[in-house]
Amino acid sequence: MATGKEVSRFRQCFPQVLAVMVKNILMMVFGMSLGMPTILIARLSDRNDASETISVEDGGISWLGSLNFLSVPVGCLLSGLLTQPIGRKRSMQLISMLFFVAFFLFYMASEAWHVFLALAMCGITGGLLEAPTLIYVVEITCASLRGSLVSTSTLAILVGVITSFTLGALLLWRTMALVNGCVSLFGLITLTFIPESPYWLTEMGRTEDARRSLAWLRGWVDLEDVDEEYQQICDDLNKKVRRSCEVESYRKGSFIKPFLLVSFAFFLAHFGITPINIYAVKIFQQLRVPVDSFLATILIGCVELTASVLLSLVVPRFGKRKLTFLSLAGVCINHILTAITAYVLGSNADDAARYLKWVPLFTILSATFFGYLMVYTLPWIIMGEIFPNQIRDSAAGFSAGTGYVIGFLANKTFLGLVDMATLSGVLLMYSAIELVGIAVMYVWLPETEGKSLDDIMMYFVSRKKREGRVSPGKTDGIENKSYETEENGNTKV
């Protein structure tokens, strides 16, 4: 930013951080909606609660845990169509209103189908927020802050999940839904105080509004102080090339190979971690963990948050490959230990419970920690890196929708698998999946940390296997000397 007067670094950064934190209220609300199924499963399946007017049979319980994931892809497909015509800010405001309507429907529910409708509405609304929230952060932040501020979205979602678990332990689920709705209204109000994306305003021909937005975001400076950056935005938009052959790009290996990799990463994440968290209350009750089941779910949320914060700190140092192997191995080992404990508790419950009562809590929390240390977040991290530039937005959206479908299948089949193979059998199956995942990822997953997007794309278009499978070594997040592509197509290590 060229300016005739000195503007402190804090003043330049603070409005960008402020705008992203306001946006993150919406991400927190999304997290609160993701926590609803866990609470509903526990409350609506409790046959001993005479005060509960809604009861869901065993067949409906699996829908409570999976309907949200099935609905999200619908919103993902509509997200881009909504965002471009009305803008990023108005899209987020509309989404906040839709979340409020969904939570109010929970509060007013008197029959089971009202609950299912509200869950579906939460899922569709959660899908709608994918495009405006991500694009808004990218377009309003300067390059030095962009990476760190984008990563706060995951943390905001986890804070929402933990908040939902905490409210579910303290309040009736209808009251909890009403509180969630109030938070979404608060987010709607705060969104009115932040500016629209200067990129979108420029595209719409609203020049003065775009300059005012940029001046607000760069430290409440004068319009003349952002002329240089505004001109850069105009140049960037003028360089946009609409590609008529985009459909053809989806038939090439540069899309198919990355898509299969992301889909497999989603498969590892969901068939191993997601159902355990969704059905955590029922699992803890079955294993007779000696703490309140709702308190145990709060602990799970805290562990997820801790692992996510740790991931953001260590991934520049160790790279994604090493952390992926560590994460998969940790989940695999802890699932095996939980399966053995569940089998022993089931065969000799009274004697075993005295000695093993704390083991399931530790192993499930440990599996959650290792899962969120990388494998659960891996597909979300790499989908923005490994697709070609001309189809990156649409390919990432399609991949995200595919991930939610896989999550739906994992949650929907979990209880049926437990009925057929017992909890121990399902956990051993998940362990086998993670073990296969280690072998497949060793061959298939390139190290993307510290590499340029061109280098990453070359890994998927080259006929030769790149040296992307090597250990990343030291990397500062900007450059990684273990992977340099020369002009002749060979790889220099």
| The length of the chain, given as a count of residues | 493
Global pTM value? 0.71
For the cut 60, the answer to whether the pLDDT of residue 347 exceeds it is yes
Burial classification of residue 465, based on how many CB atoms lie within 10 Å of its CB (0-12 exposed, 13-18 middle, 19 or more buried) = exposed
* Start and end residues for every CATH 1.20.1250.20 domain found in the chain: 8-194, 249-467
Q: Give the other-Cβ count within 10 Å of 385's Cβ.
A: 18
The backbone torsions φ and ψ at residue 219, rounded to the nearest 5 degrees and listed phi first, read 110, 25
Q: What is the pLDDT of residues 441-475, one digit of tens each?
A: 999 898 877 665 567 667 776 544 444 443 333 44
Residues linked to residue 484 through DSSP beta bridges, in sequence order: 492
The backbone torsions φ and ψ at residue 485, rounded to the nearest 5 degrees and listed phi first, read -95, 125
What is the CATH code for 8-194?
1.20.1250.20
Q: Which residue, 18, 131, 6, is CA-closest to 76?
A: 131
Asked if 332 and 431 touch (Cβ cutoff 8 Å), the reply is: yes
| Of residues 201 and 483, more confidently modeled | 201
The amino acid occupying position 209 is D
At the topology level, CATH places domain 249-467 in Growth Hormone; Chain: A; (1.20.1250)
Q: Which residue, 106, 155, 124, is CA-closest to 372?
A: 155
Asked if 222 and 215 touch (Cβ cutoff 8 Å), the reply is: yes
User: What would the two tokens of residue 298 be?
Assistant: 């709060």
The separation between CA 326 and the C-alpha centre of its own chain, rounded to angstroms, equals 20
Q: Give the other-Cβ count within 10 Å of 16's Cβ.
A: 20
For the cut 70, the answer to whether the pLDDT of residue 479 exceeds it is no
Can you give 275-299 as a three-state secondary structure string? HHHHCHHHHHHHCCCCCCHHHHHHH
User: Cα–Cα distances in Å, from 313 out to 212, 226, 309, 337, 431?
Assistant: 35, 33, 7, 28, 27
For the cut 50, the answer to whether the pLDDT of residue 487 exceeds it is no
User: What would the two tokens of residue 142 be?
Assistant: 């300067």
The amino acid occupying position 276 is I
Give the C-alpha separation, 276 to 293, whole Å.
Answer: 13
For the cut 80, the answer to whether the pLDDT of residue 395 exceeds it is no
The residues, any chain, with a CB within 8 Å of residue 138's CB and separated by 6 or more, are 146, 150
Q: What is the pLDDT of residue 309?
A: 86
Ranked by mean pLDDT, the top range of 38-52, 152-166, 181-195, 212-226 is 181-195
pLDDT bucket at 480, cuts 50 / 70 / 90: very low
DSSP state of 467: G
The separation between CA 7 and the C-alpha centre of its own chain, rounded to angstroms, equals 35
Asked if 122 and 100 touch (Cβ cutoff 8 Å), the reply is: no
Q: What is the pLDDT of residues 267-317, one digit of tens each?
A: 999 998 889 888 887 888 888 888 887 788 788 888 988 998 888 778 778
Give the C-alpha separation, 216 to 92, whole Å.
Answer: 19
The DSSP string of 382-417 is HTTTSS-GGGHHHHHHHHHHHHHHHHHHHHHHHHHH
User: What would the two tokens of residue 34 be?
Assistant: 């993701």
Find where tokens 């899962």 sit: 371
Asked if 360 and 342 touch (Cβ cutoff 8 Å), the reply is: yes
SS3 content of the chain, % helix, strand, coil (to 5): 75, 0, 20
- Mean pLDDT computed over 194-217: 92
Q: What is the pLDDT of residue 353?
A: 63
The separation between CA 374 and the C-alpha centre of its own chain, rounded to angstroms, equals 12
Give the C-alpha separation, 443 to 104, whole Å.
Answer: 48
User: What would the two tokens of residue 405 be?
Assistant: 């479908």
pLDDT bucket at 241, cuts 50 / 70 / 90: very low
List strand residue ranges (DSSP E) for 246-359, in order.
none
Q: Which residue, 32, 139, 122, 10, is CA-closest to 72?
A: 122
Asked if 136 and 84 touch (Cβ cutoff 8 Å), the reply is: no
